[in-house]
Each structure stands twice: as C-alpha cells, then as structure tokens.
Amino acid sequence: MDTLISLAFLLIKILVITHVLLGAVAYTVWLERKLIGRMQNRWGPTRVGPFGLLQPIADGIKFIVKEDLLPPGVNKPLFLLAPLLAVALGLTSLAVIPFGESITIAGHTEALQISGITNPHGGGAIFDPNVGLLIILGVTSIGVYGIALAGWSSNSKYSLLGSLRASAQMISYELALGLSLVGVIIMSGSLSLREIVNAQSGNILHWNFIGGWQFVAFFIYLISAFAETNRIPFDLPEAETELVAGYHTEYSAMKFAMFFMAEYANMFTAACVATLLFLGGWHSPFEGISWIPSLPLPALLAAFVPVFWFALKIFFFIFFYIWVRGTLPRFRYDQLMAFGWKFLLPLAIANIIVTSVLVAMNLAPLGSK
C-alpha cells in the first residue's frame, strides 16, 4: 500500500513538473518576444489575447497544423530521431533537480524532487541520487547528439556546418563549465544536489556565490551556460546571417518546435543548476535574520515559500538570458574558441586551486561550515 502511494505521488510529481516546465517554456518565448520588443522600442506580441498572452497557444496550434516536410536526401531514421533525442534529453535533467525541501500532505511527506525519496523507515529524511550533479552533466554531454545528428542527417551544407559548430562549441565549453563547478563541490563536499543546497542554508551571505568565495566560478559558469545553450552572444550554430538557421534549417512544423523546446528546456536546466549551486537553491535570502518578521501564512502556503524563492531565482536567470540577447552582438567563431580555451579554462583551473588552498588552510567561508 505504501509503495502504491509512493508511486502515485511519483507519477503526480513527474506530470506536474514536466507540464509546469513546458508551460514555462512556452511563456518564456512570449516573455522574450515582449522584452526584446520593449528593448528595441516596439510592442512585441499584442494581438492575441490581452498583452498577447495567448500568443504561445497560437504558436503551438500553428506548429501542429503546419505541413511536416521531409526533404529528399535526408537519412530518415536519424532525421526523425534527432529532435526526439534533443527534447527528451532536455527534459531528463529535471528528474534530479530539487525544487524545495519537502511537503507533507495528509501525513505523507514527499520530496519536492522527482528522484528524491523519503526514508521508508520513517523519520522524514530525504535521499536523492548522490551523484545528481554528474547526472546533469552526463545528460548535457549526451545532448550534443541531438544537434550533431540533426545536422548530419539533413544532408545540407548549412545544417552540417551549424551542427559541427554547435558540437565543437558545446564540447569546448563543457570543460570550463564542468571545472567551474568543482569549486562548489569542494566547498560542499558532495555531489548530491540536495546536500549542496543544504550546505548553503542560511541567508544570502551563506550562499556559494558570496559565502563560498565562488563568484569567479559563478561567472565562468554563467558564460559557459550561454555557450552550452547556444544563446546570443554564442549562437553561432544558428547564425542566421551565414547559416540560414544552422542545424535545424531543414526542419519544419513540430520537429522544429521540438528543437525550440529543447533549447529553452536547456536554458531552464542551466538556470536551475546555477540556482542550486551558487545561489542557495530554495533558501530565502533573508533566512535566519531575526529582525525580519516572517509572514503569517497558512501552513500549505508556507510549504511553498521555498519553491517561490527557487522560481524567483530561475526567473532572474531567464530574464538575464533575454536581457543579454537584447544587448550583445554575436562573437566571431575564432573569438569564441579562443575565449573558451585560453581564458575560461585556465581561469576555472585557477579557481579550483585557490578554492582548494582556502579549504586546506581551513579559511572558513563567511558564515557556515
């Protein structure tokens, strides 16, 4: 019976989290068009619904009813596999991301994490995969195949060039990205995302970004995340002025939409990892400060306050992505490679050395540990 309840909760969690993410993806596109529009002194979508709020639904219908073209000369199985792979791997990382501590409904404590389980022997302790961070990195590294296969199977020069650029860029920046996370792992002594967040519990001064001396790592991560998700200023794989649309040139209708969804899902994953590792996850920036009164909230609502803080931090990153897109021009390809290999990578290694020395000399970070 207990197993059945756990399974039911697991199913609910998977459904809710996946749908919230896909909804968020759709409305991120709306937000992006709206914000970029205002940054360029125009309105953005206004016609469909109030403030253009129904625009994502209209876009969705358009993607579904459009003709699904299959160009001649493509490698059909791989051409169909590529977008599926991209979107599936984009959503897989969600399984290990913790959104909050836990909630208790009718005496049943449930972790706010798809792969988090409550101790079956009682006590309410929560376990999550003890290599959660590595799972995310692994899924990201597999994610290259979606793009690589899309470009190759399309049998078109623009697609192939775009996918080669994308793969080279993602592999190069994955190194800097992975190494920038090592400092955080040293600070918290764990690869489990839940433990990494709990090591930063407390107010804003305890977070790895400030309290763990990881601000350099944070900026390396942020820059690499832009490259990993193929966003401006690193959107060379789909540079429309030279490559038409890069790796998804030959894709139409829903298959194109799947690449789109995968890209935005990856943005969310990158934002989640940044929040969990550097910005204290679901902890409030005012936590444990005695002179700030806590709001008198009903119990069920209070349980969702951590999720609110988590979502707010994610929103900050998404806003930042869009802001950068409205601000910066695109890099040149050689600049991109030189920046990744000659600047970010050595800086990340230096950060690891400095962090290790700090930890070895027992120089406690501000506040915790």
Where does this chain bind another protein (CB under 8 A)? Answer: 75, 78, 129-131, 134-135, 137-139, 141-142, 144-145, 148-149, 151-152, 160, 163-164, 167, 171, 190-191
Nearest to 246, CA basis, from 161, 187, 342: 161
Q: Which residues pair with 140 in a beta bridge?
A: none
Nearer to another protein, 81 or 303 (CB): 81
* Closer to another protein by Cβ: residue 144 or 345: 144
Shortest separation between residue 130's beta carbon and another protein, angstroms:
6
DSSP string, 1-67: -HHHHHHHHHHHHHHHHHHHHHHHHHHHHHHHHHHHHHHTTS--S-SSSGGGTTHHHHHHHHHHHS-
Nearest distance from residue 63's CB to another protein, in Å? 27
Pairing of strands 102-105, 117-118: unpaired
CA of residue 366 relative to chain centroid, distance: 27
As measured in angstroms, the least distance from the Cβ of 215 to another protein is 26
| Least distance between another protein and beta carbon 116 (Å) | 14
Cβ proximity to another protein: between 297 and 338 the closer is 338
Q: Which is nearer to another protein, 129 or 183 (CB)?
A: 129
Nearer to another protein, 26 or 135 (CB): 135
Shortest Cβ distance from residue 352 to another protein (Å)? 15
159, 166, 322 from 260: Cα distances, Å: 15, 15, 15
**DSSP tag of 128:** -
Phi first, then psi, for residue 64 (nearest 5°) are -75, -40
Residues 234 and 15: their CA atoms lie apart, in Å, by: 33
Sign of the alpha-carbon torsion through 74, 80, 85, 90: positive
Helix (H) or strand (E) holding 322: helix 305-325
| Cβ nearer to another protein, comparing 30 with 152 | 152
Which is nearer to another protein, 102 or 141 (by Cβ)? 141
Q: Shortest Cβ distance from residue 7 to another protein (Å)?
A: 11
**Distance spanning both ends of the chain, measured CA to CA:** 41
- Closer residue to another protein, CB minimum distance, 39 or 164: 164
Q: How far is the CB of 122 from another protein (least distance, A)?
A: 21
The label of the residue with tokens 């966003």 reads 231
CA distance 133 to 117: 17
**Closest approach of Cβ 332 to another protein, in Å?**
21
